[in-house]
Amino acid sequence: MPLANEKQAFFPHQAEILPNPLGTASGFILRHKSKIYVFLPGVPKELQYLFNENVLPLLEKESQEKAIYRTRTLKVFGLTESTIADRLKGINPQDHSASLAYLPRFPENHVKITVKGISSEEVEKNLQALEKIIWEKLEGRVFAVDTETLEAIVGQLLRSHQSTLAVAESCTGGLITHRLTQIPGSSDYFERGIVAYSNRAKIEILKVPEELLIQDGAVSGSVAEKMAEGVRQISQATLGLGITGIAGPGAGSEEKPVGTVFIALATPKGTVTKKYQFWGDREQIKTISAHTAIDWVRRYFLNQLSGMNSQLSEKS
């Protein structure tokens, strides 16, 4: 047995061991001066298992009030951590026997609600009331709850609207397609994904006019628009999503610095395009670009995409 694994068998004197069926490192508990100290392995899946199976029941048992705890994580995109805190500053969690925690999870921000009570009915009532207030304060920026993902929510919306989606990617290099197809059953609504990385691919596959590429450049709103319309036309999908940009670290300019990204959505009513300026390294820019593009689809169905409805009405 490796020495590193042998060391995992040593515990402090009087420790209460928490067996770990998912790995080799067990957790343990120490008691000192009426305090309980819990030590868990760092692997997220193992930590979560031991916490749910051992720590929570222990805390409930040890609590003199026999308190019940419930948590809910609201996933937010499009607002910074400070903006979220500012919008929620008028809320007093204590009114609901609760506490709030703000957890950055790039490119998302999470708001974790923890409610404590004597009965499950009391806890559930307070949790629902506080959650409703937060949803209203954040105005459509909460996209998922707990283990839900953005791509799963988008899939549900496409399916419920009996719609299909096709994607034309450049700077994200297939990341949007990868994420959307991670959802089982995504073939019900995802028609195809095209990575048109070169100008030649944009011209030959998506029918982007060559003169447009020469005039405006591959990274432009007009090209993103033609990419979205092109992929929608050749796939006959309900929606066409196009994205082009500069992920870096090179190829940026004063006019179009690294992080410049254009996203377009072609719909039955017309096409809308928007320019973004993202910051970070190459991986971060690709990640937030893909997340933003996928979120466009969610907000389109919920009529929350800024300017979308008015622009489409003018074009229809």
pLDDT at 110 over 90: yes
With CA atoms as reference, report the closest residue to 50 among 25, 74, 80, 33: 25
**How does residue 251 score in pLDDT terms, banded at 50, 70 and 90?**
confident
Are 31 and 104 members of one domain? no
With cut-offs at 50, 70 and 90, classify the pLDDT of residue 314: very low
Residue 4 shares a structural domain with residue 136: no
**CATH number of the structural domain spanning residue 37:** 3.40.980.10
Kindly tell me if the per-residue pLDDT of 157 is higher than 50. Answer: yes
**Hey, what amino acid is at 64?**
Q
Q: What percent of the chain has pLDDT over 90?
A: 82
- Give the pLDDT score at 64: 59
The reported pLDDT for the residue numbered 9 is: 85
Residue 310 pLDDT > 60: no
Q: Among 92, 124, 146, where does a domain finish?
A: 146
Q: What is the pLDDT of residue 57?
A: 86
- pLDDT over 90 at 306, yes or no: no
- The tally of domains found in the chain comes to 3
Instruction: Identify whether residues 247 and 275 lie together within a single domain.
Output: yes
- Do 175 and 26 share a domain, yes or no? no
Answer whether residue 316 shows pLDDT above 50. Answer: no
33 falls in which pLDDT band (50, 70, 90)? confident
d(CA 96, CA 101): 15
Q: Where are the beta strands (DSSP E) in 106-211?
A: 108-117, 142-145, 165-169, 190-195
At residue 164, what is the residue type?
T
At 289, the pLDDT band (50, 70, 90 cuts) reads very high
Whether residue 96 sits in one domain with residue 226? no
Say which range, 53-67, 160-174, 241-255, has the weakest mean pLDDT: 53-67
Give the per-residue pLDDT at 249.
94
The H or E element spanning position 224 is: helix 221-235
Can you list the positions of beta strands (E) in 146-237? 165-169, 190-195
- Domain end: 86, 117, 146, which one? 146
Distance in angstroms (rounded) separating the CA atoms of residues 67 and 251: 58
Whether the upstream peptide bond of residue 268 has omega within 30° of 0, thus cis, is no
Are 103 and 156 in a shared domain?
no
End-of-domain residue from the set 124, 146, 168: 146
Whose structure tokens read 């909460």?
Answer: 142
Scan for tokens 């591959």, then name that residue.
218
Both 140 and 264 in a single domain? no
Average per-residue pLDDT in the chain? 93
**Mean of the pLDDT values across residues 110-132?**
95
Whether 252 contacts 298, CB under 8 Å: no
Q: State whether 176 and 281 are in the same domain.
A: yes
Give the N- to C-terminal CA distance of the chain in Å, as an integer.
Answer: 70
The pLDDT of residue 313 is above 50: no
Instruction: Give the model's pLDDT for residue 3.
Output: 75
Q: Which of 289, 77, 267 is nearest to 161 (CA)?
A: 267
**105 membership: H or E segment, kind and range:** strand 98-105
* CATH number of the domain enclosing 290: 3.90.950.20
The answer on 260 and 187 residing in a single domain is yes
- Find out whether the peptide bond into 184 is cis, omega within 30 degrees of 0: no
Confidence label for 66 from pLDDT (cuts 50, 70 and 90): low
Range of the structural domain that residue 267 is part of = 150-315
pTM: 0.80
pLDDT of amino acid 4: 74
Same domain, 270 and 127: no
DSSP 3-state of 306: coil
**44-69 mean pLDDT:** 83
pLDDT band for position 145 (50/70/90)? very high
